[in-house]
Amino acid sequence: MRTKYAVVFICVVALVIIEKESNILSRVSDKLIPRQTPQQTPQTPESDNNTGPKGSAAVLNVLLAKQPATKNNLTNFFEKKEVDETDSIKAQRNSSGRKHVLLMASTRTGSSFVGEFFNQHGETMFYLFEPLWHVERVMATAAEVNNGTILPGVYRDILQALFLCDFSPLEMFISPPPKNHVTPDLFRRESSLSLCEDPVCTTVLKDVFERYHCKIRQCGPLNLTLASESCLTKQHHAIKTVRVRQLDTLQPLVEDLRLDVTVIQLVRDPRAILASRMVAFSSKYRTWKAWAQDGQVPEDDEEVKRLKGNCDQVRISAELGLSKPHWLKGRYMLVRYEDIARYPMQKAEEMYKFTGIPFSSQARDWILRNTQTTEEASGIYSTQKNSSEQAEKWRIGIPFTLVQVVQKVCAPTMKLFGYKFVDDEKALTNKSISLLEDKQFP
Ligand SMILES: *[C@@H]1O[C@H](CO)[C@@H](O)[C@H](O)[C@H]1NC(C)=O
Ligand SMILES: *[C@@H]1O[C@H](CO)[C@@H](O)[C@H](O)[C@H]1NC(C)=O
Ligand SMILES: *[C@@H]1O[C@H](CO)[C@@H](O)[C@H](O)[C@H]1NC(C)=O
Ligand SMILES: *[C@@H]1O[C@H](CO)[C@@H](O)[C@H](O)[C@H]1NC(C)=O
Ligand SMILES: *[C@@H]1O[C@H](CO)[C@@H](O)[C@H](O)[C@H]1NC(C)=O
Ligand SMILES: *[C@@H]1O[C@H](CO)[C@@H](O)[C@H](O)[C@H]1NC(C)=O
Ligand SMILES: *[C@@H]1O[C@H](CO)[C@@H](O)[C@H](O)[C@H]1NC(C)=O
């Protein structure tokens, strides 16, 4: 009896979720279609058949298939000429000296921490924390239907709009829909200093605002028009995201002549990522815990395949970036979380230098305060004991059986990034054995 009720309950919940998602998707396609292809909307068979996520997704697909037309044009232009950024293209770029930083990471790689390096830059920075969260939430069902091929394009186009201070494409994914461009529901709004400082913070609910502790200032609902206006006044823009997985899908964004984009890919030892995810998302990783107890891991299990898939995606993106294709020359940087943990100040300086944004005293202060270093120890060759200790904690927590699995399925990724393999539990837990090769990524 009980299971029967449980099944009914799950079905009802599932229906409610599907209903909600398809509403949002319809909203998205309703809004996008008239804007992009007005002549086609009423007549297309897809819109007659637009009753669920699949229909909406099909509409989006059509839409996205159309969009790249002008971009392909640009792409062709680049490919034909085979020129370097340094020459004529650079002259054509018109971002008015504005730099756009995309911090591309995966979960549990320290990306929030590294994002702070830019968030804390000061008044001239407009920083957004995981804006694509809204998109992923709506598109997850559609992406499955579509074999995961449309999501990267949607992500890229929304990032492009955000870098241009246009929030309207993102707005279509915010639930419930913003009224007059005002929403109390932007994901982790308090993680962006630029969204809780004046004048974007219109109503202060609790004012204990300090420049470095934005999180304790509570603002009223966010006026996205104001956010956009503020964005336009900022000299530099940075976005952190764990949702972009394929670097190649970003080409049209990087080639947009109105932007001056730098992609910083943040990576971490996949063994540490697994250990950290098992703690952070503990119910999702229940299977892994069970395997750890059995001492047996079925290697053809979906979970293991997913781990391999994640590792491969990160590696493929890094290989592309490191191979320096013309469209990424001078615009791609690979950073290991472990190096940031060891030398936070030096790494921050390098990242800033690479993006062409001057390293600010505010950012420096924040790093000093949050890595527990002293001024003199923050020089080029210093080792940050505390943050590196934190970064190595996983070695004690993770069962060796799981380490072996990661080492097997993520071997090429680990080799590329210089993470050393261990043969036994002793080597894993002995902290005087470093698991990190010193490696420069040119
Ligand atoms: C919806 O479209 C699909 C193909 O696009 C078609 O096979 C199906 O019959 C349509 N359903 C309805 C109710 O029109
Ligand atoms: C490329 O796009 C521009 C406008 O962006 C257009 O004027 C031009 O005709 C296009 N060229 C081709 C070959 O499609
Ligand atoms: C760059 O764009 C701005 C407006 O967006 C314009 O005022 C300026 O003249 C442009 N500069 C060049 C070199 O095209
Ligand atoms: C789409 O699905 C097919 C088979 O189901 C698979 O071979 C292909 O790799 C998938 N493509 C992507 C981009 O996931
Ligand atoms: C949001 O800000 C804009 C720009 O200042 C303003 O015109 C608009 O009235 C504001 N919206 C609301 C609902 O307060
Ligand atoms: C290390 O840093 C954390 C905060 O980042 C702090 O809570 C902890 O006390 C520090 N540990 C030592 C040994 O300094
Ligand atoms: C840890 O490794 C170091 C260096 O290989 C070795 O000298 C030491 O004996 C090891 N410690 C333990 C407890 O195994």
pLDDT in tens, 343-391: 999 999 999 999 999 999 999 998 988 886 544 444 433 334 467 777 8
| C-alpha to C-alpha distance for 322 and 420, rounded to whole angstroms | 20
- Using a 10 angstrom Cβ sphere, with 0-12 exposed, 13-18 middle and 19 or more buried, the burial of residue 149 is exposed
Find the helix or strand (DSSP H, E) in which 406 lies. helix 400-409
Those residues with Cβ within 8 angstroms of residue 424's Cβ, 6 or more apart along the chain or in another chain: 400
Nearest bound ligand to CA 433? 7
117 close to 363: Cβ distance less than 8 angstroms:
yes
Nearest bound ligand to CA 47? 1
Average pLDDT over residues 130-137: 94
- Assess whether the C-beta atom of 230 lies below 6 angstroms from ligand 5: no
Closest residue CA from atom 10 of ligand 6: 386
| C-alpha to C-alpha distance for 72 and 259, rounded to whole angstroms | 17
pLDDT of residue 388: 73
Based on DSSP, count helices (H) and strands (E) in the chain, helices before strands.
23, 9
Closest residue CA from atom 14 of ligand 6: 386
What are the strands, taking DSSP E only, across 182-330?
182-183, 204-206, 218-219, 222-223, 236-241, 261-267
- Assess whether the C-beta atom of 226 lies below 6 angstroms from ligand 5: yes
Asked if the model's pLDDT at residue 70 lies above 50, the reply is no
Q: Measured in angstroms, how far is the CA atom of residue 92 from the centroid of ligand 3?
A: 10
Q: Measured in angstroms, how far is the CA atom of residue 25 from the centroid of ligand 1?
A: 17
User: Which one is predicted more confidently, 148 or 114?
Assistant: 114
Pocket test for ligand 7, best of 395, 422, 428, 430 (most atoms within 8 A of CB): 430
3-state secondary structure of 100: strand
User: Which one is predicted more confidently, 198 or 335?
Assistant: 335
Q: Measured in angstroms, how far is the CA atom of residue 147 from the centroid of ligand 4?
A: 6
**Average pLDDT of the chain to the nearest whole number:** 80
Q: Measured in angstroms, how far is the CA atom of residue 169 from the centroid of ligand 2?
A: 24
* Peptide bond connecting 176 to the previous residue in cis, omega within 30 degrees of 0: yes
Which of 234, 64, 24 has its CA nearest to residue 156?
A: 64
Pocket test for ligand 6, best of 342, 384, 386, 387 (most atoms within 8 A of CB): 386
Asked if the model's pLDDT at residue 133 lies above 80, the reply is yes
Q: Measured in angstroms, how far is the CA atom of residue 149 from the centroid of ligand 4?
A: 9
The number of the ligand 5 atom at minimal distance from the alpha carbon of 224 is 1
Asked if the model's pLDDT at residue 262 lies above 80, the reply is yes
Asked if the model's pLDDT at residue 47 lies above 80, the reply is no
pLDDT of residue 356: 96
Between the CA of residue 424 and those of 98, 170, 355, 429, what are the distances in Å? Answer: 50, 48, 41, 9
Q: Measured in angstroms, how far is the CA atom of residue 292 from the centroid of ligand 3?
A: 59
- Assess whether the C-beta atom of 70 lies below 6 angstroms from ligand 2: yes
Q: Measured in angstroms, how far is the CA atom of residue 75 from the centroid of ligand 2?
A: 11
The number of the ligand 4 atom at minimal distance from the alpha carbon of 149 is 13
Closest residue CA from atom 9 of ligand 2: 73
Output the CA torsion sign for 137, 138, 144, 146. negative
